[in-house]
Amino acid sequence: MNYIFKYAKKYKKDFTLAILFLLLETFVDLILPTIMSFIIDNGVKNNDLDYVLKYSLYMLIITLLGTSFAVVRNIKSSIVSQSIGKDLREDLYIKINKLSASKITEISEASLITRLTNDVNQIQNFAHGLMRIFVKAPLLGIGSIIMALLLDRTIGLISILIVPIVIFTIIINLKLSYPIFIRIQKSLDKVNSRLKEYLSGIRVVKAFNRYDYEKKRFDKVNEDLKKVSISGMRRLAIFSPLVTLLVNLGIVVILWVGSDLVVNADFEVGKIVAVLNYMTQLLFSLVMSTRIINMYIRSKASSERLDEVFNAEETLNSPDNPLEINKNDTVLEFKNVYFKYFDTTNYVLENINFKVEPNTTLAIIGTTGSGKSTLVNLILRFFDPNSGEIKFYGKNIKDLDLKKYREKIAVVPQKNLLFTGTILENLRWGNKNATYEDIIKCSKIAMADEFIQTFKDGYNTYLGQGGVNLSGGQKQRLSIARALVKNPELLILDDATSSVDLITERKIKEGLKRNLSTTTILIAQRITSVMDAENIIVLDDGKIEAIGTHDFLLNNSSIYKSIYISQLGEEVSNFGA
């Protein structure tokens, strides 16, 4: 409800028009049976054909009017409800962008997709339903009762009696169905989550012949969804017919009392017909209400799920009064940084201290799981350290405007991700103003130009989702070119050349040195990748084991020395083979 009113405000004009036409439509529905009773009691009874024709014409005109009101109301309510859906999706999208990485993990990506689509749909449907019967159902109900009372008091009273019984049924239904609908949305999350994992890992599933296993896991969540949905629908299934039954019983009573009146007193048949008509309208309005209440229950469950996202704390926000970024002679500094992903687990990074000077390269080498990518996550401020400070040009990154800060950094992530679209679009991704020449230049440095040129469509080659139609090394080189196009002040390469052969890697490194004087943080597993760097950090289980130049580390770091020997040995034996 809150969401609907909040967003409907923006479409005040259309919303008001929809309600206005709904009122007119209700008014038409309410006067028709009375005109009908006039025709029967005054025209038909007295054989007055002129009277019958005249009033029939009135009925025709009013019905036509009613239909056109309904058409306008339908158009307006669609516009409003679709716009509400669009706005909600948009705001949700913006909010998701502000959530911390850990919050997104907590809610799960699949569930966010369900919320963005199905949950928003539920609210949108309810908004549409609301404008169809928002005022109509109660007005039609109350109006019918008043009109029936005006025609005959006894019969009118009988119709009043039905209402509290029906309202009671509605309340019971509300209590019973609500928890089920929460469960339905949760089951839907699980189906989406399985599907998402399956689709992204479909090649692995095939390679490992795990189709049957995955299928079973999918069948289980799919079956669960079916079960809760059926149990929810079952509760609703009894409900609408129950209301119909109650009102029909009322009609039978009215017929019974009414026929008695016609036989024993001077009561007109036209009135009975009209009252029955009003009873049908009352029935209609009550059934409509049950339907809208069903929609309400579903949308209430959904809006709580949206609340959870909208109310989630934006842990990583820009401060209210961010500091300006002014260059000085230390680009990046880590000061006594400690970090763990969850409160309950051990530190992933402990007591990290280092500085990166302008136009130098800091390399980080360390075994898998030693915390290298985590360090990158902290630099990008996906997470904040538990203690210690990270400074950019001497200022704590928490005090900087997040957007402006991230604009100065480009990263080639370890798990490189390209987006659906052409190569050119992907390269321009971080810098929409880049010229074609810039892009070619950066692609040449990243050794991407050479393979792009071999494609039939060159830079306009269309990439599938995640760049599926490229090899691992090609993706990495595009990813590097994309970072260079951003023209950053700090370039971070997280294992960016791991899938590239040694010769190409060397060419990329030479190109970077020759063409750019960018401060770089380079993470790698190979000694050959890091040995030229001004400073090398040896990371071991989240701690800095040693820091210095290649020559210094060969003499002072046992870990560095053993990596050197093992890799050199490997290369020697490779040459031998």
| x-marked contacts with ligand ATP along 406-435 as a string, rule CB under 6 A | --------x---------------------
Query: Could you count the other beta carbons within 10 Å of the beta carbon of residue 516?
Result: 16
Angle, helix 49-98 to helix 120-133, in steps of 10 degrees: 160
Nearer to ligand ATP, 17 or 352 (CB): 352
Nearer to ligand ATP, 285 or 529 (CB): 529
Asked if 370 interacts with ligand ATP (CB under 6 A), we say yes
Choose from Mg ion, ligand ATP, none: what does 348 bind? Cβ within 5-8 Å by kind. Answer: ligand ATP
Asked if 100 interacts with ligand ATP (CB under 6 A), we say no
Q: Out of 19, 247, 297, 348, which residue is the one contacting ligand ATP (CB under 6 A)?
A: 348
Q: Which residues contact 298 (CB under 8 A, 6 or more apart)?
A: 122, 125, 126, 181
Q: Out of 368, 454, 555, 573, which residue is the one contacting ligand ATP (CB under 6 A)?
A: 368
Nearer to ligand ATP, 39 or 332 (CB): 332
Asked if 351 interacts with Mg ion (CB under 5 A), we say no
Nearer to Mg ion, 301 or 412 (CB): 412
Q: Which residues contact 66 (CB under 8 A, 6 or more apart)?
A: 24, 25, 28, 29, 32
Asked if 344 interacts with ligand ATP (CB under 6 A), we say no
Q: Out of 76, 298, 372, 486, which residue is the one contacting ligand ATP (CB under 6 A)?
A: 372
* Residue that is written with structure tokens 């119909």 in the block: 244
CA gap 390, 371 in Å, rounded: 16
Nearer to ligand ATP, 107 or 242 (CB): 107
> What are phi and psi for residue 85, nearest 5 degrees?
-60, -45
Nearer to ligand ATP, 91 or 545 (CB): 545
Site for ligand ATP in 379-408 (CB under 6 A): none
Stretch that binds ligand ATP, among 15-23, 72-80, 117-125, 365-373 (CB under 6 A): 365-373
Nearest to 134 by CA among 306, 282, 15: 15
CA gap 47, 63 in Å, rounded: 24
What six digits make up the tokens of 30? 């309410």
Half-sphere exposure of 496 (CA within 13 A, CB side): 31
The closest residue (CB) to Mg ion is: 373
The strand ranges marked E within 201-310 are none
Nearer to ligand ATP, 373 or 431 (CB): 373
Q: How far is the CB of 349 from Mg ion (least distance, A)?
A: 12
Nearer to ligand ATP, 191 or 531 (CB): 531
Task: Dump the DSSP string for 141-208.
Answer: HHHHHHHHHHH-HHHHHHHHHHHHHHHHHHHHHHHHHHHHHHHHHHHHHHHHHHHHHHHHTHHHHHHT
Stretch that binds ligand ATP, among 180-188, 249-257, 300-308, 366-374 (CB under 6 A): 366-374
Nearer to ligand ATP, 81 or 370 (CB): 370
Stretch that binds Mg ion, among 182-190, 306-314, 328-336, 407-415 (CB under 5 A): 407-415
Distances (CA, A) of 545 to 103, 339, 364, 537, 567: 32, 17, 11, 8, 19
The answer to whether 52 touches 39, Cβ cutoff 8 Å, is yes
Asked if 277 interacts with ligand ATP (CB under 6 A), we say no
Stretch that binds ligand ATP, among 114-122, 371-379, 403-411, 415-423 (CB under 6 A): 371-379
Q: How far is the CB of 496 from Mg ion (least distance, A)?
A: 11
Stretch that binds ligand ATP, among 54-62, 252-260, 369-377, 510-518 (CB under 6 A): 369-377
Choose from ligand ATP, Mg ion, none: what does 27 bind? Cβ within 5-8 Å by kind. Answer: none
The answer to whether 196 touches 109, Cβ cutoff 8 Å, is yes
CA gap 483, 485 in Å, rounded: 6
Asked if 373 interacts with Mg ion (CB under 5 A), we say yes
Asked if 499 interacts with Mg ion (CB under 5 A), we say no
Nearer to Mg ion, 114 or 497 (CB): 497
Nearest to 521 by CA among 389, 331, 335, 326: 331
Q: How far is the CB of 409 from Mg ion (least distance, A)?
A: 17
Nearer to ligand ATP, 341 or 354 (CB): 341
The answer to whether 554 touches 380, Cβ cutoff 8 Å, is no
Q: What is the rounded radius of gyration, in angstroms, for the C-alpha atoms of the chain?
A: 35
Q: Out of 141, 270, 371, 488, which residue is the one contacting ligand ATP (CB under 6 A)?
A: 371
Task: Tabulate helix, strand, coil % of the chain (nearest 5).
Answer: 70, 10, 20
Asked if 525 interacts with Mg ion (CB under 5 A), we say no
The answer to whether 43 touches 8, Cβ cutoff 8 Å, is no
Asked if 281 interacts with Mg ion (CB under 5 A), we say no
Asked if 414 interacts with Mg ion (CB under 5 A), we say yes
Stretch that binds Mg ion, among 137-145, 275-283, 368-376, 480-488 (CB under 5 A): 368-376
Nearer to ligand ATP, 48 or 541 (CB): 541
The answer to whether 181 touches 298, Cβ cutoff 8 Å, is yes
Residue ranges in contact with ligand ATP by CB under 6 A: 341, 348, 366, 368-374, 414
Residue ranges in contact with Mg ion by CB under 5 A: 372-373, 414
